[in-house]
A and B are shown apart, each in its own frame.
Chain A
Amino acid sequence: AQKVTQAQTEISVVEKEDVTLDCVYETRDTTYYLFWYKQPPSGELVFLIRRNSFDEQNEISGRYSWNFQKSTSSFNFTITASQVVDSAVYFCALRTIAGGTSYGKLTFGQGTILTVHP
């Protein structure tokens, strides 16, 4: 069975602070994909990044960076110099190829509510 845990329910920071959102996952599959999505108040989930289980390179995209560590089953997300527009709910998700289906199983964490104050 798959499980994604985002232990931080809510985080509140002041603009320009750095903030790290934690994500820990569980799976017995050796091939899997990890995702981060952002859900602003408008509702739609916005895709941020996908990582496959064979690629542990960290990635940086502007103010966003991701730290993938298989040894600790973690895929943490850091926002540098946070801005008010970063306020949203952030979801970590795990997708495996399970049950012989082409679809696989996508499991989301509970989400972390990030509030950035001016």
Chain B
Amino acid sequence: ETGVTQTPRHLVMGMTNKKSLKCEQHLGHNAMYWYKQSAKKPLELMFVYSLEERVENNSVPSRFSPECPNSSHLFLHLHTLQPEDSALYLCASSQRTGGLYEQYFGPGTRLTVT
């Protein structure tokens, strides 16, 4: 079974739509992350959750709203997005936060905002 799954894999939405990205980890980890990967830019960390508590928010616009109902699930709620928000959104998990623990990534959701 794949450790970290993400749905949907592809999403096209208009700027006025509201949608949600879902991430689920089957590794028993306590930390989960959202990253944004844009063309020709390094991966950008968006949010970090540790034991369902948000511990980091890297100046992400409010049109992105994360939710972590339990340690296995992470959502990214999207509303009134802009075309520049089109990117690959990657979810990751790790046993704990902290430098020692490597992160395991899902396959990503390819988001296109029209």
Chain B 28-55 interface 0/1 with A at a Cβ cutoff of 8 Å (1 = within)? 0001000000001111010010100001
Q: Is B66 an interface residue (CB 8 A)?
A: no
Asked if residues B99 and A104 are in contact (CB atoms below 8 Å), the reply is: yes
> Do residues A108 and B98 form an inter-chain contact, with CB atoms below 8 A?
no
Interface range on chain B: under 10, 10 to 19, 20 to 34, or 35 or more? 20 to 34
Among A31, A37, A44, A91, contact of B107 (Cβ-Cβ < 8 Å): A44
Given contacts A33-B100, A44-B105, contact A91 B43 (CB under 8 A): yes
20 A–B contacts, CB within 8 A, in A order: A33-B99, A33-B100, A37-B105, A43-B88, A44-B105, A44-B106, A45-B90, A47-B104, A50-B100, A52-B99, A91-B43, A95-B99, A102-B96, A102-B98, A103-B50, A103-B55, A103-B98, A104-B98, A108-B43, A111-B42
Total A-B pairs in contact (CB under 8 Å)?
65
A32 touches B106 (CB 8 A): no
CB proximity of B59 to chain A, nearest CB, Å: 13
Contact assessment for B107 and A102 in the assembled complex, using a CB-CB cutoff below 8 Å? no
Given contacts A43-B88, A107-B42, contact A101 B56 (CB under 8 A): yes
